[in-house]
Structure formats: C-alpha cells, structure tokens
C-alpha cells in the first residue's frame, strides 16, 4: 500500500469513527432517556435494549457517517493545503478518493452481511423489551395458503418455533381431500412435525353406498417443508424488517403461492442496493471541492454537502416507505431512482472534473 493511501485512510477513518460514535451516542442516548421510564427494571434487559438499539441505529448512522467523515476529511485537507501538496507530488485525483471509495464499499458490504444475522430484527427485539413482551411472543388465529395446503394456527409462538391447535387442509382442484388436526406442532429441520395428529381423508369419488371418511392417527407427522415461523410472523404482521435470508425465503414462498411480493422485493432492494447510495455522494462531494482554500467558501460547501446528503437519504427513505405501503412498484420506486442517481452522479462528476 502506498504511503499516500495509508495517510488518506488514516485521516478518513479517524474522522469517520468520531462521527459514527457521536451519532450512535446521540441517537441511542436520546432514545434511552425518552423511554427509560417504560423499560423493565432488569439491568440485563436494559443492556439488551441498548445493544439492539445500537445496531438498529447503526443501519442509519453508518451511511451518514461515511459521507460526513469524508466531508470533514476534505475540509481539513483543503484548509491545510494538503490537496495541493498531493497534486504537487504527482498524485492523480483518483489516488485521493479511491481509497475512501474502497473502504466505504467494504463498510457498507459489512453492514449488509450483518443484515444476514438475527441482528436484522433489532428493532423488533428492542420494541418487545419496551413493551415487556421480550419473553412472550405469540400470534393468534393465523390462516394462510401454502402450496396445496390451507393452514390454520390458533396460536403461533415464533420464538419457540411452535404452533398450537392446528388445522391443515389439503386441497386439490378446489376440493378439500384431507384434513390434519392436532394440538401441537414444532418446526425442526426445516419442517413442521405434528404431534398426535388426526388425519381425516375424504374419498375422491362420492356415492351413497360405499363412500365414507377415512380417519387415522399418527404419533408424529412431518409436513409443510420450508414454512418458517419467523417468515409467518413477519408476513402475517406485514412487517418491513426482514433479514436478507428470511426476505429471500419469504420471496420464494410468496411467489410460489401467487401472492403479491412487492413489499418483500422492496425490502431486499433497500437492503442490498440503496445501502450504496453514499458511493456517488463521495464522488460528487470530491468533484465540487477545491484544491485551494483561498477562493473557496468553506462554510457554504459544508452546508450544501450536509444538506444534500440528508436530502438524498430522505428521498430514498420516503420512496422505500411508499413501496412498503404498496403504493408504487419497487422496481419503479427504488431501482429506477437508484439507477438515475448513479448515472446522474457520474455525469455531473465528469462534467465538473473536465471543466
């Protein structure tokens, strides 16, 4: 690694960490003070609340810290005439911003990787602690379609991966041909294991003389492969927070059932694509900076950069909320604006640099 690259990264990471820690402490601290009276008296639960809230805040603070850290670094370089010095020793413009682009891309990718873990449900967990429901999570009267089955759960316990008082109806050509009734079922090895199941089968051909229902009992019965409790919970509640893995599973599940997947696709696009909206901002901010501080309005530059960053972030956040509400197709509300944003940023960057 070149000495110049090491120097730029060192300065940038210092500013990035200062901004990130400041934003985390501010948002988490304000939230904790606002909700302190409603939190359980248990110190362990309060620490868990801070942990979950810190990661939830990280999804907002990390992209902003990447940009704000870059703004601070550029301002310091301009004020100390270090950009002029970089240019004097033969450094190309790409040599200055390229290390920041790479480390920013790596940090955003790490954030996406964390979204593959249970930490993606940090907002749900902190809300459960706030509502004193951390150890009790139940849903009642769930009725959903899955492939050739219609499934009714009187009670679903997602954390325990258990369902109570279940009825599973197998349907062929609009006709119920089999019913599975049981008091308990457990989700293990990607399947539901029904305990003490009563299976009622209706004959395919009905006639008055010999048609009868066939009733049999099974001690253990596995069915509904891939019908995950967490996906059931989130789909049933129409939540807008999934881990990436669960979002993909939910997308496949709902697509196979012919159910609208706009919300799930919007969540995936927001987590995997919109996260990188700050990369074009780094280029634009650098393009409109000045090598020389003598005729450069530093206050105006910083104000416009911070305000512009918040505007861009707010627009994508608003578009995601529109998508979550089913107002606009995610391809039109997220992917298309992101494409326009990237192409437009590259165009204005090249136009400014070449001028």
pLDDT of residue 207: 67
**Element holding 262 (H helix, E strand):** helix 262-272
pLDDT of residue 206: 66
pLDDT of residue 328: 81
pLDDT of residue 218: 80
pLDDT of residue 20: 95
pLDDT of residue 235: 56
Q: What angle do CA 165, 166, 172 make, to 5 degrees?
A: 160
pLDDT of residue 100: 93
> At CB < 8 A and 24+ separation, what contacts does 86-89 make?
86/4, 87/291, 89/4
pLDDT of residue 289: 86
What per-residue string of b and e applies to 246-259 under the rule 16 or more CB within 10 Å gives b?
bbebbbebbeeeee
Beta strands in the chain (DSSP E): 139-146, 149-157, 162-172, 175-188, 191-201, 214-223
Q: Compute the distance between CA of residue 85 and CA of residue 188 in angstroms, rounded to an integer.
A: 63
pLDDT of residue 65: 94
Structure-token match 């229902």, residue found: 213
pLDDT of residue 87: 79
Average pLDDT per block of 10 residues along the chain, 355 residues long: 85 94 93 85 85 90 94 91 82 86 94 85 82 67 73 76 83 78 83 83 69 78 69 55 75 71 84 92 90 79 92 91 79 92 93 82
Burial of 314 (0-12, 13-18, 19+ CB in 10 A): exposed
Q: What is the DSSP code string of 104-152?
A: HHHHHHHHHHHTTSGGGGHHHHHHHHHTT-TT---EEEEEEEETTEEEE
The rounded radius of gyration (Å) of the Cα atoms in the chain is 27
């Amino acid at each position: 690694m070149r000495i110049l690259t090491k120097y730029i990264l060192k300065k940038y990471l210092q500013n990035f960490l200062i901004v990130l820690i400041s934003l985390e402490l501010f948002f988490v601290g304000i939230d904790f003070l606002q909700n302190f009276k409603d939190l359980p008296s248990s110190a362990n639960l309060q620490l868990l609340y801070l942990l979950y809230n810190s990661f939830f805040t990280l999804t907002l603070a990390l992209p902003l810290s990447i940009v704000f850290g870059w703004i601070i670094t550029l301002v310091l370089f301009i004020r100390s005439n270090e950009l002029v010095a970089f240019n004097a020793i033969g450094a190309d413009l790409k040599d200055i911003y390229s290390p920041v682009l790479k480390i920013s891309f790596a940090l955003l990718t790490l954030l996406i990787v964390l979204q593959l873990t249970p930490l993606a449900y940090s907002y749900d967990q902190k809300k459960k602690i706030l509502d004193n429901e951390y150890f009790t999570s139940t849903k009642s009267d769930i009725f959903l379609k899955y492939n050739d089955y219609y499934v009714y759960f009187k009670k679903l316990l997602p954390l325990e991966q258990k369902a109570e008082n279940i009825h599973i109806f197998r349907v062929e050509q609009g006709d119920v041909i089999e019913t599975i009734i049981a008091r308990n079922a457990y989700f293990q090895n990607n399947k539901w294991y029904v305990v003490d199941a009563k299976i009622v089968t209706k004959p395919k051909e009905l006639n008055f003389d010999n048609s009868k229902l066939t009733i049999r009992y099974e001690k253990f019965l596995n069915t509904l492969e891939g019908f995950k409790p967490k996906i059931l919970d989130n789909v049933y509640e129409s939540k807008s927070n999934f881990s990436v893995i669960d979002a993909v599973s939910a997308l496949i599940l709902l697509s196979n059932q012919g159910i609208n997947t706009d919300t799930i696709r919007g969540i995936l696009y927001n987590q995997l694509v919109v996260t990188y909206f700050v990369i074009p901002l780094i280029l634009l901010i650098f393009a409109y900076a000045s090598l020389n501080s003598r005729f450069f309005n530093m206050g105006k530059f910083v104000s416009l950069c911070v305000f512009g960053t918040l505007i861009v972030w707010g627009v994508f956040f608003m578009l995601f909320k529109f998508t979550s509400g089913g107002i606009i197709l995610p391809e039109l509300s997220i992917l298309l604006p992101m494409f326009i944003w990237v192409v437009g940023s590259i165009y204005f960057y090249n136009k400014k640099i070449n001028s």
